[in-house]
Amino acid sequence: MNPNLDKLQPYPFAKLQALKEGLKAADKPHIALSIGEPKHAPPSFVRSELVQHLDKLSSYPLTKGLVSLRVAIAEWLRKRFHLKQLCAETQVLPVNGTREALFAFAQAIVTPGSKVLMPNPFYQIYEGATLLAGAQPYFINCVKADGFKPDYTSIHESVWQQCELLYICSPGNPTGALLEVTDLQQLIQLADRYDFTIASDECYSELYFNAASPPAGLLQACKDLGRNDYRRCVVFHSLSKRSNLPGLRSGFVAGDAQLLDKFLLYRTYHGCAMPLPNQHASIAAWQDEEHVRQNRTLYRQKFDAVLDILDGCLEVGYPQASFYLWPRVGHGESFARELFCQQNITVLPGAFLARENERLNPGSEYVRMALVATLEECVEAARRIKTFCS
């Protein structure tokens, strides 16, 4: 067996299940705010495209994906991030959701023994990918004093010299914090100086609340520097959150053509081509923005209603983006346990999404609440949480 498997920690939801084991919940309907699984209805036209192309199940798909899908993705990226140019042939690669691709990317490009830097708290795939690639995770604490953004200026030069891959997540999971264009450009300059790759997880980029100021992206920051080759930079996007299609397992990687060429070689052997019906359905999703605007409206309604109820009883506010609340509650595990027992609401302790680093687990005083349930359920949950806190 691969000895690195022993380095993997239980997934956050396995820890959550262990935390709840043996507890008796209040006699109320259960409301889950723990898992970031979109519950809004998928676009009907995407379902229609999927059904219309079921006959394609008789054909093997190419790992590189349909030309028409890569073109649709490239067009979306150009419009969304104001890019001057992006080659659908060499700078775009469809993948089976960002989770699979974020993991596989490290296996393809990381040298065993090197360092992989990541935010803390973080999406646990970053850590697992690093460990199974034989590399060492290096955590950068994200604390309130820094706006929940990693302080990259605190990293010693010796660490950057050993770094081969930097995972960034903007909008951040679980905090919703954003990296601005200037932040991203500083990271690009560091990547040039120390010769590492930036993997930007942007799967929450379309869940924002200020229509006049959508979150910036890494390729956009490259463009503003006049770097249309996107050297050392790749971005990961998904239809799961943007289009409420987590079960379609559809996303893409885009950026540096040289990196994607090697990643495509890896994936050809990996055997992870997206089924053709899924590709046709994905084309329809990437070409439509109206359903995405409607999706943002639904989340905005839930955030407005929930935060109005929680005002004054929890230390929490609007995230810059994403569908998570990140309230400070004192001791996250105790809060989650008692909330379940008294109100039958499940939230995720922030400590389960972070690691102790520099004598601090930056998630320990927080819980993550995913506002993915219906508006009515979210409002009911907020009322129960207010009762619990009072």
% of residues, the chain, pLDDT over 70: 100
> Position 357: which residue type?
N
Whether residue 166 sits in one domain with residue 97 = yes
Q: Is residue 2 part of a domain?
A: no
Residue 30 lies in a domain: yes
Q: Identify the sign of the CA torsion 188, 255, 168, 323.
A: positive
Same domain, 26 and 81: no
User: Domain boundary at 287, 310, 345, which?
Assistant: 287
Confidence tier at 208 by pLDDT (50, 70, 90)? very high
- Give yes or no: residues 342 and 325 share one domain: yes
Residues 227 and 335 in one domain: no
Domain end among 221, 252, 287: 287
Q: What is the pLDDT of residues 157-192, one digit of tens each?
A: 999 999 999 999 999 999 999 999 999 999 999 999
- Residue 323: left if φ>0, alpha if ψ -120 to 50, beta else—which one? alpha
The last residue of one of the domains, among 237, 263, 287, is 287
> Are 216 and 359 found together in one domain?
no
What mean pLDDT do residues 99-104 have?
97
Residues 34 and 158 in one domain: no
User: What's the CATH code of the domain at 330?
Assistant: 3.90.1150.10
Specify the length of the chain in residues: 390
Residues 268 and 383 in one domain: no
pLDDT at 259: 98
Flag whether pLDDT at 271 surpasses 90. no
Tell me the residue range of the domain where 331 lies. 8-41+291-389
Where does the chain show beta strands of DSSP type E?
Answer: 31-32, 92-95, 115-120, 136-141, 163-169, 197-201, 233-238, 251-255, 324-325, 345-346, 348-349, 367-370
Question: Is residue 207 located within the same domain as residue 278?
Answer: yes
Question: To the nearest whole number, what is the mean pLDDT of the chain?
Answer: 96
Do 272 and 325 contact (CB within 8 A), yes or no? no
pLDDT at 322: 96
* Burial readout 4-19 (b: 16 or more C-beta within 10 A, e: otherwise): eeeeeeeebeebbeeb
1, part of any domain? no
Q: Do residues 25 and 138 share a domain?
A: no
Give the tens place of pLDDT for each residue, 334-369: 999 999 999 999 999 999 999 999 999 999 999 999
Determine the residue type at 30: H
Phi-psi region of 388 (alpha: psi -120 to 50; beta: other; left: phi over 0): alpha
Helices (H) and strands (E) in the chain — how many of each? 14, 12
- Give the number of domains in the chain: 2
Tokens matching residue 348: 């995720």
- Residue 32 falls inside a structural domain: yes
Predicted confidence (pLDDT) per residue in 61-80, tens digit: 999 999 999 999 999 999 99
Residue 278 lies in a domain: yes
71 and 205: one domain? yes
Task: For residues 151 and 250, state if they share a domain.
Answer: yes
Cα 251 from Cα 16, distance rounded (Å): 28
